[in-house]
Amino acid sequence: MSNKPKTVRGMNDILPDVAARWQHLESEVEDVIQAYGYRQVRLPLLEHTEIFRRSIGEVTDIVEKEMYTFDDDGDSLTLRPEATASMVRAGITHGLFHNQRQKLWTVGPMFRRERPQAGRYRQFHQFDVEAMGYAGPDVDAELIIMSARLWQRLGIDSIRLEINSLGVAESRERYREALVEYFNGVKSRLDEDSIRRLGKNPLRILDTKNPDMRDIVAGAPVMLDYLDEESAAHFEGLKALLEAAGVEYEVSPRLVRGLDYYSRTVFEWVTDALGSQNAVCAGGRYDGLVEKLGGRATPAIGWAMGVERLVALYEACGGGYPPVAPDAYIVAVGEGTQARAFALAEELRDAASGLRVELNLGGGSFKSQMKRADKSGATWALVLGEQELSEGRIGLKPLRSAAQQENVALDQLAAVLQERTSGR
């Protein structure tokens, strides 16, 4: 038996090859988010457990069974399972919502003790975008259009948008009564979780992942029939803006999302390309949450996107990555060449920003240094021997083509490399 240390179940090391892909996609996502005027915040991974209990809701999968909670000298703390609650807490803590509107985003790890499987982990990563102080529906549409822009930019096409409205507390209460009546009528066919939720939080039954419950859920009354007038107008406004922007959607009347804080607009981008883990980006409006967590009543909306699922979907749609290998690998053999090579590497990095230069470290024969150069994936080896050094030149040897080695004057090298790597 191997005694290699293991990672915690459902938590993954992101090794260099994969991390480079993440970096590429993350910078694309950041560009899009910031193009809409959202500003980054960075939040702690731990919050007082209360924050999540009160916002996500007691009778939800997350709070009932998925949180990593521990006692810290009498304080109950929880590793964040999602970012909206922390974002709202931070805004209240620092008075960010007082007579101000905020467009905020963050990215980082989230923690849920779920059953690990492809596309579902216990530590996963999310981009999270939130707009506070905007009543919508224009901002609702803009947030969705922002995500649509991202799919377009990344060439992701196997994705579709589902939207629904959950109305406001009063209309939801009437809907809740209708749901209780319906589910009571089919009680003998409900699973254990749903029976328990029937009394406390019947909306959650609609969010069940149990396939045996699908038919029962499909026959349940729909929220859209219980919408108050203003919520209905809000929903129509959203649909009109999406249509005007050319963003296709499906109204999905049983979409409720797995957290209690939502009101009015909810949406999910789903795909058929990733098996059963089909939600890539999801969100909604949470007009009551800021007040519930102790702030002034502030309308708000946001979405969260799973980085792991974005990466998987991007690749499933044929997305590629820019090369990350060095441009040049400096091979230095002979008296006095190492010191010159060191200085040269710095000169190149100064002269051409973005140029990736790797210097051979740890000496070695010409042959072993060339082997390392090749293995690094570099486009060129820069060969500096005693002869070259005394003549003020360097050998520029292409490693990825059959082209001949050239000699380049040392003081011309930066310009030559810059020219050959420009426009990549």
Report the interface residues with ligand ATP, using CB under 6 A. Answer: 82, 112, 114, 120-121, 124, 126, 258, 277, 279-282, 304-306, 308-309
Between CA 301 and CA 285 the distance in angstroms is 4
Provide long-range contacts, Cβ within 8 A and 24+ apart, for 416-420. 417/327, 417/328, 417/348, 417/352, 417/355, 417/380, 418/351, 418/352, 418/355
Tell me whether residue 123 or residue 171 sits nearer to ligand ATP (CB atom): 123
Tell me whether residue 52 or residue 134 sits nearer to ligand ATP (CB atom): 52
Q: Report helix angle 16-35 to 307-316, nearest 10.
A: 100
Between CA 412 and CA 344 the distance in angstroms is 11
DSSP 65-124: II--EEEETTEEEEE-S-SHHHHHHHHHHTTTTTT--EEEEEEEEEE-----BTTB-SEE
129 touches 302 (CB < 8 A): yes
Q: What is the DSSP secondary structure assignment for residue 62, as one 8-state letter?
A: I
Tell me whether residue 204 or residue 397 sits nearer to ligand ATP (CB atom): 204
Tell me whether residue 21 or residue 112 sits nearer to ligand ATP (CB atom): 112
Between CA 273 and CA 159 the distance in angstroms is 8
Minimum distance, C-beta of residue 364 to ligand ATP, in the bound complex (Å): 44
Tell me whether residue 89 or residue 309 sits nearer to ligand ATP (CB atom): 309
The encoded tokens of residue 112 equal 């849920």
Tell me whether residue 118 or residue 325 sits nearer to ligand ATP (CB atom): 118
Tell me whether residue 22 or residue 342 sits nearer to ligand ATP (CB atom): 22
Residues 6 or more apart whose CB falls under 8 angstroms from that of 368 comprise: none
Residues 6 or more apart whose CB falls under 8 angstroms from that of 234 comprise: 136, 137, 140, 165, 264, 265
Tell me whether residue 194 or residue 369 sits nearer to ligand ATP (CB atom): 194
Minimum distance, C-beta of residue 346 to ligand ATP, in the bound complex (Å): 42
Minimum distance, C-beta of residue 151 to ligand ATP, in the bound complex (Å): 13
Minimum distance, C-beta of residue 21 to ligand ATP, in the bound complex (Å): 16
Minimum distance, C-beta of residue 259 to ligand ATP, in the bound complex (Å): 7
- Residue 174 CB neighbour total at 10 angstroms: 15
φ/ψ of 285, rounded to 5, equals: -90, 140
Between CA 398 and CA 416 the distance in angstroms is 13
Minimum distance, C-beta of residue 252 to ligand ATP, in the bound complex (Å): 13
Tell me whether residue 162 or residue 358 sits nearer to ligand ATP (CB atom): 162
Minimum distance, C-beta of residue 38 to ligand ATP, in the bound complex (Å): 17
46 touches 77 (CB < 8 A): yes
Minimum distance, C-beta of residue 216 to ligand ATP, in the bound complex (Å): 19
Minimum distance, C-beta of residue 285 to ligand ATP, in the bound complex (Å): 14
Which residue's beta carbon is nearest to the bound ligand ATP? 306
